[in-house]
Structure 1
Amino acid sequence: MTVELLVNVTPQETRVAVVENGMLQEVFIERARCRGLVGNIYKGIVSRVLPGMQAAFIDIGLDRAAFLHASDITSAEESEKAEQNAEDSITRLLQEGQEILVQVIKDPLGTKGARLTTRITIPSRYLVFMPGAGNVGVSQRIEDEDERQRLREAVLGARGEQGGGYILRTAAEDATSEAVASDLEFLQRLWASIQEGIGKVGPGGVVHEDLPLALRVLRDISDAEVEKLRIDSRETFQRVEKFVAQFTPALKDKLEYYPGERPIFDLYGIDDEIQKALERKVQLKSGGHLVIDQTEAMTTIDVNTGAYVGHRNLEETIFKTNLEAAQAIVRQLRLRNLGGIIIVDFIDMQNEDHKRQVIRALEKHIERDQANCHISEISSLGLVQMTRKRTRESLEHILCETCPTCSGRASIKSAETVCYEIFREILREARQFDVEQLLVLASQEVVDLLLDEESTSLAELEAFIGKPIKFQVEALYSQELFDVVLL
């Protein structure tokens, strides 16, 4: 597996593309006007306590108050007590007007405010520092038991008498004890500076801001897999160069400044892939396709054979389509950054072994995903239920907005329906007011239909109300919009 990172920087936004074996797998976008908040630490003010929800709204200086649940304040033991005595637990923990140090764990999504926690975590290259804890954990993705023990001992040795808990990240695998100790020392210094900053900022102020996107991706991705990192901004390249020298020296020879006139994303067709990721339908190489619908409650993915007819029999055709779909689905989840509840409707399979193989394929491909995912078995209805942790907006929500014509319904009234609405409105107006004639303002499609296929009905309506009806095309009117003017 060869991984290339492409960083495209403009004054307005930074975009990072993760390309695996020549194919775009993930894209991260951060705009100067609305940078992501995950990882930022704030001095918040409790604005409202909600005992019924066991939560509180915290003012951290954003447009919408952020949300803090009781389970994100207390320890595991206290959470159990809180559930048993739910009525007063949150009121014991928080009071309105109280200052509290919080960290953003989820960006504001849609109409919801940011999600907060009081369990501060500060990541570095190899470690995640937890000031309020005392244990040392190791990423589950590091499977070798000897390596896990070596890393744990390296942290314990470097930590000494200092407090705080640590989690060794996947990137720490095969890292030297000196590199781990250096990371630990950096985190201790950073935490000391954060503590100093708490007294310097006012209520609702930012105490600590996470790294910008280009550096954040470098910190979080495993350098062993990265073959090349190409950046098209000289200023960003110099910043990344300093960061790499300090934290990820293994990437030094893989850094490359791209000065070409042709946009860096055009070299790999990234913009075309992003455009495809905004479409509802995804074509599979075999001729089958996926249909992806993103809603407020969940994302649904429907698998269809489409033009693929196979070579042997129906069951084999369905099996091969589902296997190909499993790989494509994981790529789309990462590329579109779809999170929350996801329902996949694979084509119905009769063979139990085929069902197991499709699920195993889905699990195998999703191992590459950095986000936490959970996949269930195929249900009695033939559906696969899965969840994917969501911390930031999906690609569609970042790049798109609700259609003003259909208001997010993904459909509009037909011209025929609008014609009949106009007829009813004309009757309503003619009965209420004494006018000489009526003028209908509508879109080109509606006016054409009224004067063509509905001309007989229109003549009958004019005879019935005894008034002439005129029409005027309004180019700016959508198909659903019309006005009946009394003259």
Structure 2
Amino acid sequence: MKGRTIILDHIQDREAAALMVDGKLEDFLVESDAPAPGTIYRARADRPVKGQGGMFLTTPDGPAFLRQVKGLSPGQMILVQVTGYAEPGKAIPVTQKLLFKSRYAIVTPEAPGLNISRSIRDEDERDRLLEVAHEEMAESAYGLILRSACAGAPSEEIAEDIAAMLSMATQVMEDTGAETEVLTEGDGPHLLAWRDWVEPADVERSPGGFERLGVLDALETARSIREPLPGGAFLFIEPTRALVAVDVNTGSDTSMAAGLKANMSAAKALPRALRVRGLGGQIVLDLAPMPKKDRRSFETALRAALRADPEETVLVGWTNLGHYELQRKRGRIALSEVLK
């Protein structure tokens, strides 16, 4: 199966969306019982955490944790947005910097100004988009980011998207309630697929699409700890309570360059493998043996692969034992937590 295909279906009674590229599972989104990123609460400040500069909050979905708190007193009502998924038993991560995000537009109440994605370089196209932005934002004090999906899109659709996000932002930001409440829900898998998978693709909506198009078979691999690599090498990806351990193996290749080849393949494959499995947090790579002089080439390949990945990942660096560490945002729910 060549090309890009988006499959919208359900698995184990949960809404889910899969992106297949040339017959390979490139991305997967699945509904969970946890609050989805993007959910906005009217929350109550509960108690500060000394030494961490944060505060626990009370929300309708349980305790949340807000970092970098200034001028916030216990009992005060504030608006916060869920930024990711919490580890089991931990508080929901939230921020006070609210974003109202859709396919074409992101309204930023705390960051005024009109901005266009840097990936749109054509000056005539940028001028067209600025005209649409100015017309829709009018005298609003809120900021706006026009996303890369705007390139070539009809002006009417972009304007409609901006207006919808601006209306939602205005309604939420002018909220004056006095009790904890969910003000907006985060987007589900099908809406996220429409919002974020914007490159041209066939769309399959008929029930049973996961089985017909090979998604279920690909998920079997994703739910295991073994991830095959080109050339016979493979990864073992094992989540623990503290971190995600990734072990790179050369397989049957016994050549002098086997370690370097396996590590370069791992660098290219790792973002997709973590994304599909929904893994984040601390990632520790136990690489195959290779000369220290090749470490920079590995880092360059890994950085290039992560550049196209939607989840924010920080390259921390090498440890004294020769492991490589990453810190990855928990923007996805782990498959192991939702698919049994």
TM-score by length of 1: 0.63
CA-atom RMSD in angstroms: 2.8
Residues 279 and 332, structure 2, Cα contact 8 Å, conserved in 1: no
Shift of the 372–138 alpha-carbon distance from structure 1 to 2, 3 Å rule, reads farther
Give the share of equivalent positions with the same residue, in percent.
27
Aligned to 2:103: 125
Counterpart check, 1:229 vs 2:227 = no
What is the distance in 2 between the residues matched to 1:380 and 1:49? 36
Aligned equivalent of 2:57: 58
Secondary structure, counterpart of 2:262 in structure 1? helix
- Check whether the contact 1:281–1:291 (CA below 8 A) recurs between aligned residues: yes
- Is 1:220 the equivalent of 2:196? yes
Q: Which amino acid aligns with 1:15?
A: A
The one-letter amino acid paired with 1:47 is: D
Judged with a 3 Å threshold, the aligned counterparts in structure 2 of structure 1 residues 188 and 329 are, in CA distance, closer, same or farther, namely closer
Query: Secondary structure of the residue that 1:349 maps to in structure 2?
Result: coil
Q: Secondary structure at the match of 2:172?
A: helix
* Residues 52 and 175 of structure 1: CA distance in aligned 2, closer, same or farther (over 3 Å): same
2:268 aligned with 1:327: yes
The C-alpha deviation readout for 1:58-93, integer Å capped at 9, x for no partner, is 11112x31111235xxxxxxxxxxxxxxxxxx4xx2
Q: Specify the alignment match of 2:210 in structure 1.
A: 265
1:10-63 Cα distance to aligned partner (Å, 9 max, x none): 6931121111111012211114xx15431111111222233433222111112x
Cα 1:384/1:52, change in 2 over 3 Å: closer
Bigger Cα Rg: 1
Distance (whole Å) between structure 1 residues aligned to residue 125 and residue 90 of structure 2:
39
Equivalent-residue separation in structure 1 for 2:201 and 2:228 (angstroms): 29
> Which deviates more from structure 2 when the two are superposed, residues 97-106 or residues 280-289?
280-289
The one of 355, 358, 366 equivalent to 2:298 is 358
User: 1:129: Cα distance to partner?
Assistant: 0.6
Q: Secondary structure at the match of 2:51?
A: helix
Contact 1:36/1:392 (<8 A) preserved: no
After superposition, the Cα gap between the structure-2 partners of 1:379 and 1:145, relative to the gap in structure 1 and judged at 3 Å, is: farther
Structure holding more strand per residue: 2
Cα 1:70–1:359, aligned 2, differ >3 Å: closer, same or farther?
closer
1:108, 1:392 within 8 Å by CA — same for their partners in 2?
Answer: no
**Whose relative contact order is higher, 1 or 2, with alpha carbons under 8 Å and at least 6 apart?**
2
1:306 CA displacement: 2.2
The amino acid of 1:55's aligned partner reads: G
**Of residues 321, 328, 333 in structure 2, which corresponds to 1:388?**
328
Of 112, 132, 144, 1:134 maps to 112
**How many angstroms apart in 2 are the aligned matches of 1:305 and 1:373?**
25
Check if 1:109 corresponds to 2:87: yes
Q: Which residue of 2 aligns with 1:6?
A: 7
Unaligned runs of 5+ in 2: none
Tell me the amino acid that sits aligned with residue 20 of structure 2: V
Hey, what's the Cα distance between the residues in 1 that align with 2:125 and 2:240? 41
The answer for the alignment partner of 1:189 in structure 2 is 167
Structure 2 length normalisation: TM-score?
0.87
Q: Relative to 1, partners in 2 of residues 1:122 and 1:286: Cα closer, same or farther, differing over 3 Å?
A: same
Residues in 2 aligned to 1:218 and 1:229: alpha-carbon distance in whole angstroms: 10
Task: Provide the C-alpha distance between the structure 2 equivalents of 1:147 and 1:115, rounded to a whole number of angstroms.
Answer: 40
| 392 and 202 in structure 1: CA distance in 2 versus 1, 3 angstrom threshold | farther
Asked if structure 1 preserves the Cα contact closer than 8 Å seen for 2:8 and 2:190, the reply is: yes
Q: Which has the higher helix share?
A: 1
User: How many residues were matched structurally?
Assistant: 338
Go from structure 1 to structure 2 and tell me whether the alpha carbon gap of 1:211 and 1:202 turns closer, same or farther (over 3 Å shift). Answer: farther
Structure 1 gap ranges (5+): 72-89, 234-262, 401-487
* Whole-angstrom distance in 1 between the partners of 2:278 and 2:256: 33
Q: 1:359 to 1:107 in 2, by over 3 A?
A: closer
Task: Please report how far the alpha carbon of residue 207 of structure 1 lies from its aligned counterpart in structure 2 after TM superposition.
Answer: 1.5
Whole-Å separation in 2 of the counterparts to 1:175 and 1:399? 36
